[in-house]
Structure 1
Amino acid sequence: MSPVAVGGPALFIGTGTAYVALVRPELDPADPGVRLAAERAGVAPEEFAGPGDTWAVLFEDDGGGDGFELPGLRDSEAAGFAERLRAELAAARTPGGTPEPFGVDGGSVLSLDARPAGGDAYTFAARLTPPGDEPAELTVETGPVSAADLLADLDAFLGSLA
């Protein structure tokens, strides 16, 4: 599932070299930033450890990757995106039918366009627009992703948010 370990809820779409991920990383008490924040707050780093509350989008495209935070994104919004993706993917895979292209709008930051890639696979074009004063849209094209595997990942992601 995951080319990047984040320790919290994570939905990865793509392959090890071309992916987009919606993640809410866990805070690690051994992380130097967590340790510094805890020291400044006058508490033990272990008190800061555990589920974080800030969602982020991570991406990689042929070795070049980055990410950006999504301040204010709620778990319900992340779940809503995953539920829409799951519904579109399930509808596009009608038994005995030809897989159909589909799209999922994740708001101003993330949108997906899916195209059949043979068999039970899809490729995704993820349009990403980092928040900011002068957003610069970029597109990440993933390699083929098994629809069955993605449905299982979506179920696991949604379960991690329940």
Structure 2
Amino acid sequence: MSPIAVGGPALFIGTDTPCVALVRPEIDPAQPGVREAAERAGVSPEEFAGPSDLWQLIADRTDGEGREIALTELSTADADAFAGSLLDAIADPDAEFTIVLTVAAHDVLRLSGRPAGEGFAFLASVVPPPSEGTPQLEVEIGPTALADLRVELEQFRRSLR
């Protein structure tokens, strides 16, 4: 399901554009900027890069409108709990639901699901923090097969361990 490779844990809802993604990209030690920073710090590029702890919420619509929000206060446990809530919500293929990802007392993502074909269609409301000054973005995500969604969620949760 993942339309782009991020190297670290990634949960994509939607098979292409439109989609929303919760990702924790890895820092590539081969990037020139990373190599230069490591040299200045007096460590190897691999040691400098290490695992990234910075989560991002990415939303993309077919009209080119999108958002990318740094989630500096999101923990891996919170990301896992969100994925677990979504997994629980899709357990009933006939249910409509809304789950919320809250970071630092701010709801950054409201994900509403409704049955559609052999899976679910979603409305994702991405709400940047007020300090960013950008408006909420709504992303309509077409039907996603239930089996594919379960696999994506389970793989994401395994990648967090």
SS at match of 2:34: helix
Deviation (angstroms), 1:4 = 1.2
Q: Which residue of 2 aligns with 1:96?
A: none
| 1:91-111 Cα distance to aligned partner (Å, 9 max, x none) | x22xxxxx1211111121111
Correspondence for 2:125 among 106, 124, 127? 127
Deviation (angstroms), 1:146 = 0.7
The 8 Å contact of residues 113 and 125 in structure 1, kept in 2 or not, is answered as yes
SS at match of 1:142: strand
Give the TM-score normalised by structure 1: 0.88
The 8 Å contact of residues 103 and 113 in structure 1, kept in 2 or not, is answered as yes
What's the C-alpha RMSD, in Å, of the aligned pairs?
A: 1.6
1:47-126 paired onto structure 2 within 5 Å: 47-62=47-62, 64=64, 65-90=66-91, 92-93=92-93, 99-107=94-102, 108-118=107-117, 120-126=118-124
SS at match of 2:114: strand
Determine the C-alpha separation between the residues in 1 that align with 2:40 and 2:27: 16
The 8 Å contact of residues 18 and 62 in structure 2, kept in 1 or not, is answered as yes
Give the TM-score normalised by structure 2: 0.88
In structure 1, list runs of 5 or more residues that go unmatched: 94-98
Deviation (angstroms), 1:43 = 2.0
The 8 Å contact of residues 67 and 137 in structure 2, kept in 1 or not, is answered as no
Determine the C-alpha separation between the residues in 2 that align with 1:73 and 1:89: 23
Determine the C-alpha separation between the residues in 1 that align with 2:33 and 2:59: 22
Determine the C-alpha separation between the residues in 2 that align with 1:37 and 1:71: 21
SS at match of 1:104: strand
Determine the C-alpha separation between the residues in 2 that align with 1:130 and 1:35: 32
Amino acid aligned to 1:59: A
Q: Which residue of 2 aligns with 1:31?
A: 31
In structure 2, list runs of 5 or more residues that go unmatched: none
Determine the C-alpha separation between the residues in 2 that align with 1:13 and 1:69: 18
Q: Percent identity?
A: 50
Count of residues in Structure 1 that have an aligned counterpart in Structure 2: 155
Deviation (angstroms), 1:20 = 0.2
Amino acid aligned to 2:86: L
More divergent stretch after superposition (62-71 vs 24-33) = 62-71
